[in-house]
Amino acid sequence: MVKIVEKAKGLPFNAPRKNPVMAAMIETLDDNVGRVMETLDRLGLSENTLVVFTSDNGGNEYNYAANEIATNNHPLRNGKGNINEGGQRVPFIAAWPKRIQAGAVNPGLVSSIDLFPTALAAAAAPSAPGQVVDGTNLLPAFLGREDIASDRELYFHFPHSPPATGTEGGTSVRRGPWKLTRFYADGYNQADRLRLVNLNDDPGEMTDLSEEKPELVAELNEGISRHLEETASLVPVPNPRYRPSADGWEVNKNATLEEVDDFLLVKAIAKDPFIKTADFGPAKGKLSVEITMRQENDSGVALYWATKAHPGFGPDRLLVVPRVSFGVWRADFNPGDDRLTSLRIDPAQIEGEVRIDSIRLIQWTRPGEAKTVRLWDF
């Protein structure tokens, strides 16, 4: 761990990945995968063993260690627990000496659901009578006998909205470079929202092409509906007590609020505009709020908070939020054992536009270690 910390100190300030704890964990994993492979060689089992290295989710972008977020999945968007590519796309490496060509690369789409039928085929074993087998046998692709179908469709159902990851519950489908995501009740008046992206051109899923390709959207969306019906999947339903807001944030009379593309647009029409929310999980003790945004006119930023014992926003629960790097403001505060109930952010003190890309509420669990309570990734 010490040598990894020293290596991390030499990285540039803005290096996308520089968490020494995460680096040490990866190095340990790498060493132990090597031990497994060496043991198979020593026991003479390598040529009769198919080894697959993969993961059940993308990198963790919401826990902190050594005062740094665990990792950064750039250029993919978001991470573990999110329906975007940073949460879905993972390594998939197979090794089988004298059967799989070393260094071969296959661009086809695969999923963890393919592991079971592939293992059955590798062992020349049948499935149980009447057993439904999802996925595709990848053994022919592993052995270089055939390619994975380029028009294969893969479905991902994640109907949850974990506050820490900033995701909205949804279902997505991949076909070639295309990915359509259906976000449940995330559109106007709780309608489902559809987003189409071309991952070859846009791995960060920033440009919605749904209006440009309505026929493809309709086709892929029909596939999602068919998949949900075939799998009897549960989906979120509209909230009968719904009140319009922007991802849980409300605005005072001195501004307007609108979600535009991938940011929250606050238009200040008078002095002292603010936004507020109570849409987050339990939080107390040492906390931080981190805001990534762009101001049309440079001005001060303020943070107010309310707690169970002190429900109002008052001057004794106010901080001027300092800018810690380009486009990023961050404030630390500590309500003690009194549970945080709401936040208010004054993103500007004068008229003009403010574009907020994300807001993160962080709870520090011990020195240098923290977890994300809620990420608002607009």
Measured distance CA(343)–CA(88) in Å, rounded = 31
Token pair in block for residue 229:
């019906």
Q: What is the CA radius of gyration of the chain?
A: 24
Taking the model in full, what pTM does it have? 0.78
pLDDT of residue 332: 96
Measured distance CA(220)–CA(182) in Å, rounded = 10
Domains observed in the chain? 2-105 (no CATH), 154-230 (3.30.1120.10), 250-377 (2.60.120.260)
* CA-based nearest residue to 111, from 148, 77, 160: 148
Instruction: For the beta carbon of residue 331, count every other beta carbon within 10 angstroms.
Output: 20
Measured distance CA(161)–CA(325) in Å, rounded = 29
One pLDDT digit (tens) per residue for the chain, 378 residues? 667 777 766 777 677 788 888 889 999 999 999 999 999 999 999 999 999 999 999 999 999 988 888 999 999 999 999 999 999 999 999 999 999 999 999 889 999 999 999 999 999 999 999 998 999 999 999 999 988 888 899 999 999 998 888 888 999 999 999 999 999 998 877 899 999 999 999 999 999 999 999 999 999 999 999 999 999 999 998 888 777 778 889 999 888 888 887 899 999 888 889 999 999 999 999 999 999 999 988 889 999 999 999 999 989 999 999 998 889 999 999 999 999 999 999 998 888 899 999 999 999 999 999 999 999 998
Write the single-letter amino acid at 69: I
Measured distance CA(29)–CA(34) in Å, rounded = 9
Token pair in block for residue 331:
């404030």
Q: Let me know the angle formed at the C-alpha of 45 by 41 and 50, rounded to the nearest 5 degrees.
A: 100
pLDDT of residue 172: 98
pLDDT of residue 1: 65
* CA-based nearest residue to 262, from 340, 376, 357, 335: 357
